[in-house]
Amino acid sequence: MNVDPLLGKQLGQYIIQAPLGEGGMARVYKAYHTRLHREDAVKVILSKVAHQPEFKIRFEREAQLAASLEHPNIVRVYDAGDANNLPYLSMQYVGGGVLSSLLRQGYALEPGRAVRYALQMARALHHAHQRGIIHRDVKPQNMLISANDPGQILLSDFGIAKLFDSSHEETRMNLSPAGIAASASLTSIGQIVGTASYMAPEQCEGKEVGPYSDIYALGVVLYQMLTGRLPFQAAETTALMYQHVNVQPRSVRDINPSVSEMLAQIVARALAKDPRARFRTAEEMALALETALTTNQLSTINLANNRPPALETLTATPFVAAPVLSASSAIPYAPTANIPSLPTNISTAYTPSAPIVIPIPPRRRKLPLVRAVVLTTFLIAIVVLAGKFLSPAGTPLTPAPVPSGAFVDTFKDNYNHWLNGSIAGGLTADVSNNHYTLSYDNEPNTHFPYPGSVSQLSSSFTLTTQISQEAGNTEIPYGLAFRMQYSGNQMVSCYAFAIHSSGAYIFMRYDTANGQIQSSVLAQGFVSQFRKGLHQSHQLQAMVKKNTFSFTIDDQAVQLKSGMTLTDATYTDGTLGLLVSGPNSRFVVTRVQFDIPASS
């Protein structure tokens, strides 16, 4: 058994701890920074090639390129150095494994998870493209899943990226018999770079590459995530490259019929043979993916009649919470707006010609969903509670019919009769020591705790809460609710404003149709200045002026579609409450304040 000579040794400021992976030019280790007391990833050029100047040049270029990129979905580069004649690069340790590990078993990912990953990668690529950098090796092995947030994915390895204005002569693939015989290895010096399974047609032929080449590769990755297989497979590299240039892939829906038509069109466009028929920019692809997410056009499966994704999928899905009591009753958001379709008659025939140069257009104004890593449709389904709330004797299960005046509740005691004790669906509520603590067991449910002493609200008011998440996945939503209407002890309608601990927010309306609770997304976005993670207390505020709503998070006004206010006249009265979700989460509320303007 060969023992890695670097394990346990010091390299610069690092103690090498464990191997993480190996590529054609370098090996990556988990390492401990002795001065900063931090675990990082360290990439070291393999000793067998470290003496070759071509590899050192590529390695140094990777450091320079990657260090110039600052994006939440790109692995951060900290430093580059040379110790013991070994060039190394230190970077962010992500720790959650690589996407290729998830795909290794040949299983497709849940469509929502696949699209969220592809969306984040598209935004990362767009960031690089705007700075003149093409990745040229987009593949699952270079996509790292965050250990802290499995819904976040980061792009790594810009070692073979090329500046648009680089003066280096591009290596060409010789498709003559002699060239084919010499093309067995794609990682050796003098051969075309990239991994054949993800190469764009123009890249296979050694023609000019551009952002459109990365878009094609991302299309291959999305195809693989949705179907569990690659669009092209062959034993020989040259046969695989021939298919990229000349063969049309099967539709993803032929392999996985549960994939929506919109997603199939997005994949087909990304995989067009002609670069001019693909998305013009990675941002354009991101916007198409975002549309599929926000309109829930992901799958043909109706979750109302089928079991929802497993919990491991839900925990990697921003803004998803299961229903109270019945996980089989989840109802997806069904939009009524017309969604622009993607062209289905894209030409997939590619005739090799002169290099096609597609300029980077001016930066387009993004949709209100600013950061894909955290912004997706927020689905929370509510079902009948069937009288199973457990609360202290004398506490009404429905709001008491008394007028509601202004109040400030700091939970010194429970004079407002908030739901307390063990509550059906895995929630335990406790009012004590100036805290209202809401704790979930392992049930992934959503509740709307409310004060029993508060009845109908005035037409105009301000509702404020101070709340923190103390445990659980940081993608779990929490917030406030108002104009809540009940039938017995079943909530039938309300408005809700919620966040999760990454800084994303959403404004929703819940309605009852045919005896089922359904949710509609009214607005969503991301707060730029936000204290992320657990143990951070946030102030959420809803300002209601009749049928016009506005919101703040930590005194920052949030964007609601085209402005800072939004009007909806569906519901005009009801009570107030909170919104919390499980599983295995805990929230602490220290203040709820209800104010009524003098003119109300």
| Total number of residues shown for the chain | 600
What is the spatial distance between Cα 532 and Cα 108, in angstroms, rounded to a whole number?
31
Supply the DSSP string of 472-533, one letter for each residue. Answer: S-TT--EEEEEEEEEETTEEEEEEEEEE-TTSEEEEEEEEEETTEEEEEEEEEEE-SS---S
Spacing of C-alpha 265 from chain mean position: 21
For the CA atoms of 416, 419, 421, 423, what is the dihedral angle to 10 degrees? 180
Q: Is 137 a catalytic residue?
A: yes
What is the spatial distance between Cα 274 and Cα 353, in angstroms, rounded to a whole number?
10
| Torsion region of 46: left, alpha or beta (phi above 0 gives left; psi -120 to 50 gives alpha) | beta
What is the spatial distance between Cα 309 and Cα 17, in angstroms, rounded to a whole number?
36
Taking CA atoms, 393 is separated from 163, 390, 417, 432, in Å, by 71, 9, 11, 17
Strand, helix or coil for residue 62: helix
**CA dihedral over 15, 21, 27, 28, signed as positive or negative:** negative
Spacing of C-alpha 266 from chain mean position: 18
Using CB atoms within 10 A of its CB, is residue 459 exposed (0-12), middle (13-18) or buried (19+)?
middle
Q: Among the options 137, 149, 157, 409, which is catalytic? A: 137
Q: b vs e for 494-512, b when ≥16 Cβ sit within 10 Å of the residue's Cβ?
A: bbbbbbbbbbbbbbbbbee
Using CB atoms within 10 A of its CB, is residue 105 exposed (0-12), middle (13-18) or buried (19+)?
exposed
Q: Which residues are catalytic?
A: 137
